[in-house]
């Protein structure tokens, strides 16, 4: 009886601390599209973010390049990249930390600009 109880305790304890994760690997994105003409800047304070591929479910979607204001003064855009194994999303980085791009707000004019960081 003691052996059965000990085995049950070990099995139960082992499952309490086990980790389980599921990931989808879709490989590297296609080559970046070549843009022959970059639109004129809408004004001072805007920076150009070049087009890039980003994962959307089990495939990649193309995000056209666009002019935008940095997320806050002094922020610089770090382009998304794939290291051969994993995709790393683009983000704004600087003295106030990292702010990622929100693909859900793409229809807005200042898609990455947060007015509270002016």
The angle at the Cα of 109, spanning 57 to 94, to the nearest 5 degrees, equals 75
45: left (phi over 0), alpha (psi -120 to 50) or beta: left
pLDDT tens per residue across span 35-90: 888 999 999 999 999 999 999 989 999 999 999 999 999 999 999 999 988 999 99
pLDDT tens per residue across span 13-25: 555 455 554 445 7
| Residue of 86, 32, 84 whose CA lies nearest to 63 | 32
Q: Is the pLDDT of residue 5 over 90?
A: no
Q: What is the model's pLDDT at position 4?
A: 67
Beta strands 91-93 and 99-100 are antiparallel
Token digits for 69?
């204001």
Within 8 A by CB and 6+ apart from 28, the residues are: 82, 84
């Amino acid at each position: 009886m003691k052996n059965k109880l000990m085995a049950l305790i070990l099995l139960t304890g082992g499952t309490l601390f086990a980790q389980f994760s599921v990931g989808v690997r879709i490989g590297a994105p296609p080559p970046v599209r070549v843009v022959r003409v970059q639109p004129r800047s809408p004004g001072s304070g805007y920076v150009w973010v070049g087009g890039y591929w980003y994962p959307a479910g089990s495939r990649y979607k193309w995000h056209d390049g666009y002019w935008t204001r940095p997320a806050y003064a002094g922020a610089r855009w770090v382009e998304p990249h794939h290291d051969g194994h994993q995709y790393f999303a683009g983000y704004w980085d600087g003295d106030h930390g990292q702010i990622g791009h929100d693909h859900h707000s793409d229809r807005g004019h200042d898609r990455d600009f947060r007015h509270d960081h002016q």
